[in-house]
Amino acid sequence: MILIWFCAASQIAAQAIETSEGKARLTQVVGGLDTPWAIGLLPGGGFLVTERDGRMLHVSGGTVHKVAGVPKVHVSGQGGLLDVTIPRDFSQTREVFLTFSKKQSGGAGTALAIGRLSADGKRLTNLRTVFEAAPGGSGGRHFGSRVVEARDGTLFVTIGDRGDRPSAQDRSNHNGTIIRINRDGSVPADNPFAGQAGVRPEIWSYGHRNPQGAALDLQGRLWTAEHGAKGGDEVNRVRKGANFGWPVISYGVHYSGRKIGEGTAKTGMEQPEFYWDPSIAPSGLMVYSGKLWPAWRGDIFVGSLKFDYISRLEGNRVREVEQIKGPETERVRDIVEAPDGSIWFISVGQGAVYRMTPEQ
C-alpha cells in the first residue's frame, strides 16, 4: 500500500519563505515519502522520485503510483536506490538513468542502470546495468551517488570511498572516484587514464570522499558537493584527471579529533572551490539558470542534511552568501531546476517534495 499523497496547488496552502530576492512560495507537491533520495523531472510535466529502500514513484496529473521493474537494490546503511536522472532525449527514447547499491561478492558497490519508462509511467522495461564499481565493499557507507549527463552525451557517476579511505588514492579500484562512461557502458577514448596499466579506465577524477551532489554549470563544467569528515565538506569543480586529495589532504579532522593525512594542501592535489567547517552534510547540488530569479544566474545551490537549509553560493571565488531556511528545508537531499525556472527540492525530514517560486 502506497501511503503517499499528491498535492495540487489548489489543495494545500503554499507557505512563504524569506530569500535575498524577496519572499518565495513553497508548495508541497507530494508527501508521505519514506527516505526520498532524488527527483527526476519529466518533459511535459510529472516526475519520478526514488526512495532509498528500493521504491520509485511516478507522480503526474494528480496521481501517484509505484514504478515496477526498478533494479533490485542492496539496502544497507546509506545504500539503496539512489539517484534518478532524465536524459535530454527522453522524449524520443523514454530512457531513465538510475544509480543504486548492487549486491556483489565483496558486499555491495555503486551501480548505474538504464531502463525505458512505459508511456503510462508504471513500468521500466529493457533494464540493463551498464556499470558497477569494483571491487565491492562490505560497509554500508559512502556510495556517492549522482549521475550527470554531460553535454557530449557521456555520463558522470560519483562514487564514494566506501569507508575505505586509502582506496580513494588507489586507481586500481573505483572507490572515491568520479567515473565517465558512454551511455552503453563503454569507456570514452579520451578518458584521462584510458589504456594505462593498473588503472580503471572509467576514472575521470579521484581522491574524493563521498560526493552526493553533482551538476553541470552554465558552461557545461562538472561541479560536486561532497562530505568531509568532521569539517571539510567541499564544493569542487571537477577537472579531467585531477586528484582531489582525500585522504591525504582535508580541511576536516577525524571524528576522534585526530588530524587527517598531511594537512590541507599538497603539490599535485586540488584545492576545493569552497569548504564548510563545521560540516553541513551537503547533498544535492544545482546550478541555477536565472530564469525566475535573474540575480541568481550561475549561482550554486546545495542542500544541507545537517543544518536543514539550502545553501546559495556565488562568485568567482565561491562563497556561501545565503541560507534559505524554513520548516520545509528539513534535511534537503536533492535540489533541481524545472524547465520553467522553479526550484524543486526533497526534504527527507518532511518526507516531501517542494516547489519554490517567487511570491507574486
Which residue from 172, 157, 161 is spatially nearest to 247, judged by alpha carbons?
Answer: 161
Which residue from 128, 117, 146 is spatially nearest to 59, judged by alpha carbons?
Answer: 117
Residue pair 112/131 in contact (Cβ under 8 Å)? The answer is yes
Q: How far apart are CA 46 and CA 59, in angstroms?
A: 5
Q: How far apart are CA 54 and CA 98, in angstroms?
A: 11
* Bond before 339 cis per omega within 30 degrees: no
Residue pair 188/180 in contact (Cβ under 8 Å)? The answer is yes
Q: How far apart are CA 297 and CA 110, in angstroms?
A: 33
Active-site choice (58, 65, 74, 142): 142
Burial class for 43, CB neighbours closer than 10 Å (0-12, 13-18, 19+): exposed
**Half-sphere exposure in the Cβ direction for 87 (13 Å, CA):** 24
Residue 295 DSSP one-character state: G
| 58 among known catalytic residues | no
Amino acid at 104: Q
Q: How far apart are CA 260 and CA 272, in angstroms?
A: 16
For the annotated catalytic residues, the residue numbers are 142
